Amino acid sequence: MAQTIFAVIVGILIFDYLVSRALDYLDDSRWSPTLPELLKGIYSEEKYKKAQEYDKENSRFGLITGTFSFIVMLLMLFFDGFAYADELVRIYTNNSIYMAILFFGALTLASSIINAPFGWYSTFVIEEKFGFNKTTLKTYLLDMVKGALLGALIGGGLLSLIVWFYDTLGDNFWVYTWLAVSGFSIFMAMFYTSFIVPIFNKLTPLPDGELRDEIEKYASTQNFDLKNIFVIDGSKRSTKANAYFSGLGSKKSIVLYDTLIENQTKEELVAILAHEVGHYKKKHTQVSIVLSVFQTGITFYIMSLLLGNKELSMALGIEETSFHIGILVFGMLYSPISMVLGIGMNILSRKNEYEADDFAKTTYKAEALESALKKLSVDNLSNLTPHPLNVFLGYSHPTLLQRLENLKK
């Protein structure tokens, strides 16, 4: 049985790797040497060529990093790397909570060190080459340190709580784990902008002026109580622009990147805001949270049925069962199910994006949203003609051309 589980894990890894490479190839094959007719008026010849170079460079880099990660994982499996890490952990402690923290902490640290050169190259070579990078080395290193500390604090805390549930509550541990993780997720959905974002970025209230007046005027026409409008200093890291909605109830807020404000007109910015208001009015955020909580419960229930199985540990060459090895193997085996669920969530997400666009079209100006979306895509050198299979499997948003077509209906 252990050998079968091992073979399935290897098969899943190979399948994931081949699918990723195939999707990259399909996307690359969609590029044309000349500007396609349907993109005229959106991309110039020069910008289209630059977008093509940017996409292909990222694709080549993805091939290198993906192949490297694939090989490392195979080496860890075939040469008992996880068993060796488990042995090292057991030298220092036999406490299940400490073992889990040390085991996953060591793997995370090793992964971070191994992948650090790739992260540096992506930021300071590729993004720099195409004019996106604004990150200084100091900011980059501080982000790494802050991310590691935050991950250790939050991840370590949640992991400790889950292991404690597992050790003390028996078969029903998954219910308490589900409630704890879901509660934390809802908390983060409400307070992410207030607590996490300021650790990495500076948030300032949108100053009084024409833009704020226009935004508040639109919000009032939709009976949308919006007091928290923030500007984030995204330009300290990249020239790429974005905007997002976060929070629930009285904690809801709109965050606009300073790069977005710099490059978009007042009407375009209000149209983007109208799209985000549409998500809230259509209850997309609430529905996504409910579905996420439900999905989390199913995941933990399935996990509870498998964790005590000794065959899971033996599949990695480890004789003694433990929570940290069980959850590691479960995560590998659950990958295909997670992919299928992800496809379903992406289908829902793309539907939500169309609905939010329709809301902005109905309550504000379709032309302003069209113009804003075009600018965002061109400024970010987005691939406007990805392969339909890649869109179906991995895109949370429709393509720009699909959204423009929908706005013209």
Catalytic residue among 24, 27, 127, 276: 276
According to DSSP, the β-strands at 243-246 and 229-232 are: unpaired
Q: Is-catalytic flag, 370?
A: no
Whole-number Å distance between alpha carbons of 39 and 45: 10
Catalytic residue among 357, 358, 367, 405: 357
Whole-number Å distance between alpha carbons of 104 and 328: 9
Buried residues in 169-203 as b, exposed as e (16+ CB within 10 A): eeeebbebbbeebbeeeeeebbeebeeebeebeee
Whole-number Å distance between alpha carbons of 132 and 232: 17
Token pair for 404 = 């423009």
Q: Is-catalytic flag, 276?
A: yes
Q: If we measure between CA atoms, which residue out of 105, 106, 107, 86 comes closest to residue 159?
A: 105
Whole-number Å distance between alpha carbons of 332 and 325: 11
First to last CA, the chain: 56
Buried residues in 60-95 as b, exposed as e (16+ CB within 10 A): eeeeebeeebbeebeebbeeebbbebbeebeeeeee
Q: Which residues are catalytic?
A: 276, 357
